[in-house]
Structure 1
C-alpha cells in the first residue's frame, strides 16, 4: 500500500465547553484540525503511510499543531516552518434546531501567506501514490491556487492519483471565484469528492427536486449530478455524501459513488451527532484507504460511509476509529453494545 500526501492548512480550533454559546462562555477548549490534516490522521489510524504538508510558524503554537499530527503517526517532515500565525477557527456546537456556527480568524496565517518556492513537490512526492487536497486550500488566496496547481501537475507527472474534496466555504470565497479556480484544477483530479451542496456552489450543477434546508434529498437526482461532473471535468470517480439534516443533533447519513458507468449507493445511517466537524474528511480518508487496498466499489463506498458515520460520534476534528470498528459497522453491527 503506497504513501499518501495531503496538503492544506491545519488550524487551532477553539470552542466553548459542551453546548455553551460564544456569548455565554468564559472557557474555551483548544484542539487542532483542518480538512487535509483530518484526512491524514484518519489514514494514519488505518495504517497508511501518510505525509502532511503545510506551512506553520516555528513557535510553540505551531509546534503544537505538528505534535497533534505526530502523535498519530502522520509524517510531518515535509512541513515548511515560518511565518507568524496559526490560523484559528471558533466553533459553537449546535443542538436540536439551533445550528452550529463557525467563525474564522485565519487571514495572514503562515499557510495563507505561503510561497510557491517553499514547496519542492518533486521531493515531497517521492515514493507516493496518492495526493489529496481540498477546495478550502486554494480558497485561502495568495499563492495557494498556484501552489495547488503546481502540486497537481507534478503529482500527475509522477503518476499519482489525485483526489479533491470540493469543500466550498462561502466565508472564504465567492461561487464565481471557486468556479474559476476549481475549473483550472479539475483537469488534474481523478477522484472528486463533494457533499450535497458543493457541486451547485462550485460548478453550478444541482440535483432536481431537492430541498436541502427542508431535509429532503432526491438521491436519484444526484446520479445526474455525478454524471455531469464526470462528463464535464473528466473525473474518473465522483463521490457525493448525502446528509439529510433533521436537526443539528440528528442526521441521516449516506453517500453515492459514480465510476463512470455505474452509480453505487450506500446504506443509510441515522446519526445522533456528538461532533460533525470532519465528517466529510473521514469519508474521503475511507475512500482513499479502500482504493489503495483494491476493495470492490460497493465495499469501498460502504467502508467510507461507515467511517464517516463513526466520526460523528467522536469529539474533535480527528476521527479516532480503527479499521475493525469501521468494518463491523459496515457489515451491519450498529447496535452500539458494549464491547467486552
Structure 2
C-alpha cells in the first residue's frame, strides 16, 4: 500500500444551517477541514496509507481535530502539539447569483507557530512515496514557510514524488510575497496543481482569452499556462482545474493535464452544487491516488475530475466517495439513479 504524507492546517469550519446568511443564523454547524487535510482524507478513503502532519493546540479542540482525521483512517502520529488555538473559518453557502462567503479567524493559530524543528521529517517520510502541500500553509507565517521548505528538501532527499497545489489566498498574503516564497519550493515539486487564477496571482502567468467571472475558458490559453509553468520550473506534470461558473449553484467542471509534452482535457461535467468547499482538494486527492495506482495520464485526469465532480454533491470539506463510485461516473453513468 502506497504511503502519502500531507502537511498543512486543519481548521474548524462553522457554517449557518442550509443557505442561511450569517446575519440570520442563531446556530452554526461544525465541520473540520483544510486544504491538505482534505487531500489526506481522500487518499485514506481510496485505500492509501495516509499520514497528516500539522500542529494543533494541546487542548480538547485540538484533540477533536485529531480525532476527526483518525475517524477516516488517517495516521496522526506525527502531529505536533502546541500553540494556543485551532484556526477557524466561517462559511456561508451561496445560491443562485449570491456567492458563497468565507470569513477567516485563523490569526495566531497553532500551525502559524510551527517551526521546522517541530517535525522529524526523516522519521515521517520513512516508507513514503508521495508528499503533498499547498500554498496556504506558507502564507500563514514566516516560520511555517520555513517548515514547508524544510519538508520539501527532506522529501526529495527521501526520493518522494512531491505535489503542490498553488492555492493562492488573497486574504492571507500578497501576490508579490506569494510569488517570492512559492518560487523557492518549485524546484522540489514534480506535480503542480492550480485553478483558473492561481498561476496568474502567484507567478504572473495568465491564460489568454479567458474570463473566469463570465465562465469563458480557453483551452489554448491553459495549454500556454501549463507550458510556461513547466518551462520555468521543470515540473513533470501540471494539472489545472477548469471551473466554468454559471452561478453559485451551477458550474461546469473539467480539468487539463500536461505531461510528457502531451495535453489532456477531461470531459466536462455540469454540476449542481451542494457544497463546493474542498472541490479542488478532492481533485488533488483523486489525482494522487490515480497516479500512484499507475493509471495513464488521461485516466488519472478523468479519475480526479470525476472524484471532484462527486465531491460537489457532498456536505462538508471531505470527499466521501469510493473508488467504485468514481469509476462508475468515469464510465459515463452520471444519471444519479437510485442504486439498489
Q: TM-score normalised to the size of structure 2?
A: 0.99
Residues 1-340 of structure 1 mapped to structure 2, 5 A cutoff: 1-340=1-340
**Could you tell me how far apart the structure 2 residues matched to 1:100 and 1:196 are?**
18
**Could you tell me how far apart the structure 1 residues matched to 2:142 and 2:264 are?**
38
**Could you tell me how far apart the structure 2 residues matched to 1:25 and 1:2 are?**
43
C-alpha contact (below 8 Å) 1:131/1:161 kept by paired residues: yes
TM superposition shift of 1:260: 3.5
**Could you tell me how far apart the structure 2 residues matched to 1:260 and 1:163 are?**
17
For these two proteins, the number of residue pairs brought into alignment is 340
TM superposition shift of 1:115: 1.6
**Could you tell me how far apart the structure 1 residues matched to 2:226 and 2:115 are?**
34
Question: Alignment RMSD, CA only?
Answer: 0.6
**Could you tell me how far apart the structure 2 residues matched to 1:311 and 1:279 are?**
6
3-state DSSP class of the match of 2:142? Answer: coil
TM superposition shift of 1:301: 0.3
Can you list the C-alpha shifts for 1:138-189, whole angstroms capped at 9, x where unaligned? Answer: 0111311111110000100110000000000000000001000011111110
Question: Unpaired segments of 5 or more residues in structure 2?
Answer: none
**Could you tell me how far apart the structure 2 residues matched to 1:252 and 1:82 are?**
42
**Could you tell me how far apart the structure 2 residues matched to 1:40 and 1:146 are?**
22
C-alpha contact (below 8 Å) 1:230/1:260 kept by paired residues: no
C-alpha contact (below 8 Å) 1:193/1:239 kept by paired residues: yes
C-alpha contact (below 8 Å) 1:130/1:160 kept by paired residues: yes
TM superposition shift of 1:82: 1.4
**Could you tell me how far apart the structure 2 residues matched to 1:219 and 1:321 are?**
29
